[in-house]
Every structure is written in C-alpha cells, then in structure tokens.
Structure 1
Amino acid sequence: MINTLQNGQLTVVIDSFGAEMNSIKSNDIEYLWQADKNFWARHAPVLFPIVGKLKNGEYHYGEETYKMGGHGFARDSEFKLVKEDDDELIYELCQSEESLLHYPFKFTFRVSYILNGNKIKIRYEVKNEDEKFMNFGVGAHSAFNVPLINGSFEDYTLTISPNEKRTFIPLNPASGTLKLDEKSEVEVSKLPLTHQLFDQDALVYTSSDEMKVSLTNDLDDHSVTVTWKNMPYFGLWSPYPAEASFVCIEPWCGIADDENTDGDLTTKFGINELAPEGKFSCEYIIEIK
C-alpha cells in the first residue's frame, strides 16, 4: 500500500512494504534515488533486526544457529499502517511464524514518518514482547540522487560535522564484514564525491553525540542534510565499480559483524539489548533544500 505525506514544501511517498520511502520531492525535484535495478533496486530501506552483514550469513543464539540476510528482514516485510494523519504515518511490524525461523524473539517494531516544513523526521521504536532479553540492531539506508539537478557526481561534497576525531572501521568488500583490527582514529569533515571513494565498500564511522551530514554542490543551493543524535555509527555508500548516481547517508544503532566474530548474537559488536517489555527508540531528520 502506498501512502503520501504532503505540505506546501515536500511530498513524501512511503510504501507499506518495508515501510520504505519511495520518493521525496520538492518543487517537482526528486531527491530520493529511484531504485534503478541496474545499480540498486531500493530507495531507503529500513534495517532491522540487524544492520549490515553477518559473517557467513548466520549467527548463534543459545544452542541454535540462525540464517539471516544482510540488513535483516524488515525491508522485505509488509508493515501494517497503524496511524495516518495529515503530517504523520506510523507503520508496525510484529513477529510472525516466518520471522521466528530467523530471529527467535517476539517484538513490536514501529517506523514513523513526520513531516514538518522542509524536514522529515523518521523514528524507530522497538519493544521486546518476549520473556527473555532481546538483541537487535536498527538503522537507515536512505539513498539521495547525485546530481540533484545540476552537474555530475564529482561536483558534490559530503560535509560531516562536528569536525572531530572519530573511529573509521574498514569493511572487507568480499564479505561485507568489519575489519576491527584495522580501525583507526581519523578527522574527516569534507569528502568530495568520486565513485572510487567507495572502492572498498561503505565508509563506516563512529558518530558523535550529535551528528550532521550534508550533501551539497557549488553549482546551486539544492542540498540534503541528515541529522541525528545518539545513533552510534553511520555509513556512507555508493556502489563501485558501477557508477550509480546516488549516495547513501546511513545513521545506525547497530553495525555489521566483525570478520573475527564467534557468531554469538548476544556479544556481537554494536548489538543492542532489551529486557522483557523493554522499549527502545531513535530518530533522524532529513532536511531538503
């Protein structure tokens, strides 16, 4: 089911399948990648109950081994629309017989979209409906058109603030797992876009308590700014060697497996834990200009 939020500044289209944004338009300009299957057939998938890839596509919980694809199953699940107002949509996903085969927890997962002027607030809420502790990751994967209107991919820049030291964690492009043994402290503020920037897969960093990443160019005033608080990691990605005309800005509460992991979900690097009946929430904001 397709739903639309609209005001005088933005039109945002969301599909209940995956609770995924399909379009963000302002003055008839499309800001969101339109899922060209020749490059990447998604727009802005929601990542749950893991972020990134698992080593060998599996994990252990107790004495059982479970299989799960990268970024979890929420992005390929039908959500239920539980609230619809002029400026807000809330989608809900709960466990099913199918999900329990891959993820042995009962849960309620909600994704909210709130429109306010030229901003979209996206909120994730997780509730543990089980009688045992629940481990999970959750995050965003929004892809923005580059160029937005004028210029080429190389005319755009990602600006990251605050400009302070943060941890860079390289990925193994072959497996999509982290190389924690090779992490380093870096200062990164401006990243002029080139396709080769992503030749080792996504750029993965730790977040500051408050973060802002802006996509801008020197040819016009059109831009995208993504802000968040208390989401401890983020990724920046565009496919390589394919030269796709988009870049992803991805705040995360969770992260891929380390390549040396033992596969135990409860001790997975970056994993979150909720007590029975416990609740968790995080949010990020997309500002369109």
Structure 2
Amino acid sequence: MEHTLKNDQLTVLVDTFGAEMHSIQHEEIEYLWQADPKFWGRHAPVLFPIVGKLKNGKYHYAEKTYQMGGHGFARDNEFKVIKAEADELIFELRENEDSLNHYPFRFIFQVAYKLVGNKIKVRYMVQNKDEKFMNFGVGAHPAFNVPLKNGSFEDYKLTISPAEKRTFIPLDPPSGTIKVDEKFEVEVQELPLKHELFDKDALVYSSSDEMKVSLTNSLDNHGVTVTWKGMPYFGLWSPYPTEAPFVCIEPWCGIADDENTDGDLTTKFGINELAPEGKFSCEYFIEIN
C-alpha cells in the first residue's frame, strides 16, 4: 500500500512493501526511476540484513548454513506503518517464520522518511532483540531518472565530494562478489555519464567521513544530491550492456562478500555487529533541485 509525503516542494510515495520509495516529484518532474522491468523492476530498494551478494548465495553461522538472495530480504517483505504524518513516515519490520529460515536473529528494523524542505531524510534503525550478538548490513539503492527533463544520459555527470583519495573495490560481475585483494587508491571527483562506465557492474568506493554525490547536467538546474555521514561504502550503478535511463547512488553500511570469503557471517568483510538489545542507526539525505 502506498503512502504519500507532501510539502510545498516535494511529493513522495512510499510503499509498505519493502518500505520502498516509488516516486519523488518536484515541479511536475519525476526524479525516481519508475521500475520498468525491461531494465530493472525496482525503484529504491532497502538493503537488509546484507548489502550486495553472498558468495554462492550462502553463509554459515553457528555451524549451520543459510541461503539468502542478494541485498537481503527486507525489500521483499511487507512493513508495518508505525507513524504516518504529512511530512514523515516510519515503517517497521520484525523477524518472522520465513526470515528465521534465512537469518537466525530476532530484530526490529525501521525505515523512516521525513521531508525537510527540498530534502528527503532517510533513516535506518536496527535493534537486536536476540540473546546473542547479531551481524548485519544495511544500505540504500535509490535509482534516479537520467535524463530528468532535458538532454540524454551523456549530458549528465556525477560529482563526488570531497575530492580526495578513496579506495576503489572492483566487483566480479558474474558472481557479484568484491575483489578485496585488488582494491586500490584512486582520486575521483567527476564521472561524466556513459553506459560503458558500468561495463564491470557497479563502481564501489570507500566513503569519507562526510560524503556528497551529485547528479547534474549541462542543460538546466535540475539535479539530485545524496549526502551521508558514517556510512563507510557506496556504490554507483546503471545496468550494462542495456542502456537504462537511470543511475543509482547507494550509500551502504555493509558490502558484498569478498570472493575469498570463508562464508562465516561473523567475519564477513564490512559486517556490523550488535550486542543483545543493542541499537544502530544511520541516515542519508536526498536533495532535489
């Protein structure tokens, strides 16, 4: 079921299924990708309790093997609405019989959306309701239309700030795993968009303490800026070789499996850990122009 957030600048639709944004409109322009299955049938999935793919789609914990699809199961579950106001929505997911077959932890996972002028504040909150330590990843996957109004895909660029050295972590396209042994330092600030930029799948980088990634074009002032703090990785993605008219800007607290992983969830590269009754939160902003 879709719920609406609205102020004098933005109209945002969020669905209870996956707590996923379905639309971001400003000045009668649709900014969010509309999930054409010809290219990619999602808008802005929420990634939990893993980010990316597991090696061979499985992991082990406490001497038992579990299977889980890429980006976890939250995006394919119905959330409960626990707050619904004109400018704020909060959705909640708890463990269920099916989730316990794939992820042996009891948890509360909340996704909050709040309008602040021309910005959408997105907040993820995780609480461990189990009696054992809980390992998890969480992240965002919003896709933005390119072009927004004028021009073509190649008229747009991504600008990454701050302009400093960061770690680039290559992906292995067939498996979706990362190649930690092949990571390297790179200076990246501007990425003019072209579809070939994503010929090896997503571009995955380490974050600075404070991050800003902007999608802009050379023809008008319409654009998107995504900002975050304390989310240690991010991905940039558009499908290839299909020439899809969107690009994803994805801040993450977690990352795909390293290709050399032994499959132990507790030592997975980039994993987070919560003590019993422990709480975790992170947030990012989407600014619309």
2:238/2:247 contact within 8 Å kept:
yes
CA shift for structure 1 position 27: 1.1
- 1:147 maps to which residue? 147
Which runs of 5 or more residues in structure 1 are unaligned? none
- 1:268 maps to which residue? 268
- 2:83 maps to which residue? 83
Amino acid at match of 1:128: N
2:82/2:90 contact within 8 Å kept:
yes
- 1:123 maps to which residue? 123
Secondary structure at the counterpart of residue 196 of structure 1: helix
2:61/2:264 contact within 8 Å kept:
yes
- 1:107 maps to which residue? 107
Any runs of at least 4 consecutive aligned residues in structure 1 with deviations exceeding 2 A, and if so which? none
CA shift for structure 1 position 271: 0.1
C-alpha offsets along residues 13-61 of structure 1, whole Å, 9 cap, x if unaligned? 0000000000000011000000000000000000000000000000000
2:19/2:46 contact within 8 Å kept:
yes
- 2:164 maps to which residue? 164
Amino acid at match of 2:260: N
* Residues in 2 aligned to 1:189 and 1:115: alpha-carbon distance in whole angstroms: 28
Amino acid at match of 1:145: N
Q: TM-score, normalised by structure 1?
A: 1.00
* Residues in 2 aligned to 1:152 and 1:238: alpha-carbon distance in whole angstroms: 14
Aligned-pair Cα RMSD in Å: 0.3
**Identity %, equivalent residues:** 78
* Residues in 2 aligned to 1:98 and 1:157: alpha-carbon distance in whole angstroms: 41
- 80-89 vs 273-282, which moves further: 80-89
- 1:207 maps to which residue? 207
CA shift for structure 1 position 116: 1.0
Secondary structure at the counterpart of residue 196 of structure 2: helix
Q: Is 1:51 paired with 2:14?
A: no
2:211/2:229 contact within 8 Å kept:
yes
Secondary structure at the counterpart of residue 247 of structure 1: strand
* Residues in 2 aligned to 1:214 and 1:278: alpha-carbon distance in whole angstroms: 34
C-alpha offsets along residues 204-228 of structure 1, whole Å, 9 cap, x if unaligned? 0000000000000010000100000
Amino acid at match of 2:34: Q
- 2:13 maps to which residue? 13
CA shift for structure 1 position 250: 0.1
Aligned residues: 289
- 2:247 maps to which residue? 247
* Residues in 2 aligned to 1:154 and 1:56: alpha-carbon distance in whole angstroms: 35
Which runs of 5 or more residues in structure 2 are unaligned? none
C-alpha offsets along residues 158-196 of structure 1, whole Å, 9 cap, x if unaligned? 000000000000000000000111100000000000000
Secondary structure at the counterpart of residue 226 of structure 2: strand
Q: TM-score, normalised by structure 2?
A: 1.00
Q: Is 1:61 paired with 2:61?
A: yes
* Residues in 2 aligned to 1:8 and 1:114: alpha-carbon distance in whole angstroms: 14
Amino acid at match of 2:104: P
CA shift for structure 1 position 5: 0.3
* Residues in 1 aligned to 2:87 and 2:193: alpha-carbon distance in whole angstroms: 34
* Residues in 2 aligned to 1:149 and 1:86: alpha-carbon distance in whole angstroms: 27
* Residues in 2 aligned to 1:34 and 1:217: alpha-carbon distance in whole angstroms: 20
Amino acid at match of 2:28: D
